[in-house]
Amino acid sequence: MKYCGIFLILYAQGILCCSAQNIFQGILLTENDSTALPYAVIKLTATGEMQITDEFGVFTLTTTKDISILELEIAVLNYHGVIQYERTHSVPENIYIPVGSIFLNNVEINGYSAEQVIQKAVEQIPFLYPDSAYVANGFYRQIHKENKKFVRLIEVQSNVLFNMSNIRNKLTSEETVSIQSMRRSFNYEENGGTHLNHFFEVLHEDPVYHLAGNFLHPNAMYLYTFTFDTAATNGTYIIHFRSTRADPEKIITGTITIDEFHFAIMDIEIFTIEKPHTLYKNNFTIDKRFTVEHVDGYFHFTYAPINDVWYLQKIQKEYTHDYIRTQIYEKAYVVTESFEWYFDALPDNTYALTGFSDIGNLYLCNYIYDPDKWNDPLPPYKFFKQEDVYHDLSTEWPVTYQFEYAGK
């Protein structure tokens, strides 16, 4: 009877668990012609769960049965928005968004497959992008968010020296910086993590200026599949890619826009997401208190031509990690960090190449805050609203006060 009682308790718990949760299966479709949308990122805002649609536009999420309306954040080429979806409880449920692309899979456009267009674009990098040193005026912004609250802000105005070289048709870049003005908030983080020098780390993410060790490297292309989005329109190829074996923990997907006439890479957008049911890999912090697990990430790179040479114009990066307490594997912190680099449209090739360095730690270095240097309009926030960031940071002290005293 004792064992029977335990069995009944466990059985009842199982019924309650099953009744509380439900697997939602959907298929993402274009609004105008019901074309399936593969490799789109879907986020259930109520729980933060994220999935990527498969090649047929299908995805699954875990929900509760009593929820009739789902708020979904959807990111795919030509669309990024939040929708309120009223459930029909069919399997799968059709979700339509206002995107009109017609996806073309294993086809050729102008005699090229999607992978061949990528290969040709990579071959053209040494001939289309700068191969000698130049200076660009840059603006950098870094924001940290911990358990849904903003805890740190850093902004820097600087000159960036891109020391470009082209050896045997292989383009490389080494960057150094001359800081013109800087400001940062106090640090309200609680997780105690040790930060690297993200200032340069973000620059090194650029797949064109830093091809080695990158998904565009010819030796890495076999790890991805490439498919056309549409035929070349307005003089561009739009190509989707998805990882097959590139990372054991993450799914990597994204879009590359390529100039049809010169095969110049114009725009790269990348999404990363933790694979479902991935076990913890014990990516320990230095003090071993936490293991840090990747949740999702986003990268965006933009290039533009100036006098027939293509230059890096913008880098935007965001990622989220879970901090899991070791031994008990209990989630303690959800940390999101975002980074933005913007560069002047007109690079300076005559700038004196002196006074640049590998700067120290932006979290600790001293500076003198001059509010007059911050009167000109700055690039708008990409990932968050400025008023929300300032609101959280100013709980104890005004943000302008922090800008002045954080550098002393």
- Select the more confidently predicted residue: 68 or 397: 397
Domain boundary among 41, 71, 97: 97
* For residue 257, pLDDT beyond 90: yes
Residue 102 within any structural domain of the chain: no
Label residue 9 by pLDDT band (50, 70, 90). very low
Kindly report the CATH number assigned to the domain that includes residue 18: 2.60.40.10
pLDDT tens column, 221-234: 888 888 887 655 67
Domains: count for the chain: 2
Burial status of residue 226 (CB atoms within 10 A of its CB: 0-12, 13-18, 19 or more): middle
Inter-residue contact 217 to 177 (CB < 8 Å): no
Q: What is the pLDDT of residue 224?
A: 87
Residue 108 within any structural domain of the chain: no
What value does the mean pLDDT take over residues 338-355? 77
Label residue 365 by pLDDT band (50, 70, 90). confident
Reported pTM: 0.78
Q: How many residues does the chain have?
A: 408
Token digits of residue 274: 């933790």
pLDDT tens column, 70-85: 899 888 766 778 899 9
Burial status of residue 143 (CB atoms within 10 A of its CB: 0-12, 13-18, 19 or more): buried
Residue 240 within any structural domain of the chain: yes
Q: What is the pLDDT of residue 37?
A: 82
Same domain for 238 and 348, yes or no, is yes
Same domain for 49 and 188, yes or no, is no
Same domain for 250 and 322, yes or no, is yes
* For residue 192, pLDDT beyond 70: yes
Inter-residue contact 164 to 171 (CB < 8 Å): yes
Domain of 60 in residue numbering reads as 2-97
Same domain for 229 and 346, yes or no, is yes
pLDDT tens column, 271-290: 988 765 555 566 777 677 88
Same domain for 125 and 86, yes or no, is no
Q: Can you give the chain as a three-state secondary structure string?
A: CHHHHHHHHHHHHHHHHHHHCEEEEEEEEECCCCCECCCCEEEECCCCEEEECCCCCEEEEEECCCCCEEEEEEEECCEEEEEEEECCCCCCEEEEECCCCCCECCCCECCECHHHHHHHHHHHHHHHCCCCCEEEEEEEEEEEEECCEEEEEEEEEEEEEEEEEEECCEEEEEEEEEEEEEEECCCCCCCCCCCCCHHHHHHCCCCCCCCCCCCCCHHHHHHEEEEEEEEEECCEEEEEEEECCCCCCEEEEEEEEEECCCCCEEEEEEEEEECCCCCCCCCECCCCCEEEEEEEEEEEEEEEEECCEEEEEEEEEEEEEEEEECCCCEEEEEEEEEEEEEECCCCECCCCCCCCECCCCCCCCCCCCCHHHHCCCCCCCCCCCHHHHHHHHCCCCCHHHHHHHCCC
Rounded to whole angstroms, what are the CA distances from 251 to 2, 198, 256, 278, 296? 47, 23, 17, 11, 9
Same domain for 177 and 271, yes or no, is yes
Q: Which of 201, 198, 126, 195 is nearest to 164 (CA)?
A: 126
Inter-residue contact 59 to 52 (CB < 8 Å): yes
Same domain for 127 and 228, yes or no, is yes
Domain boundary among 46, 68, 97: 97
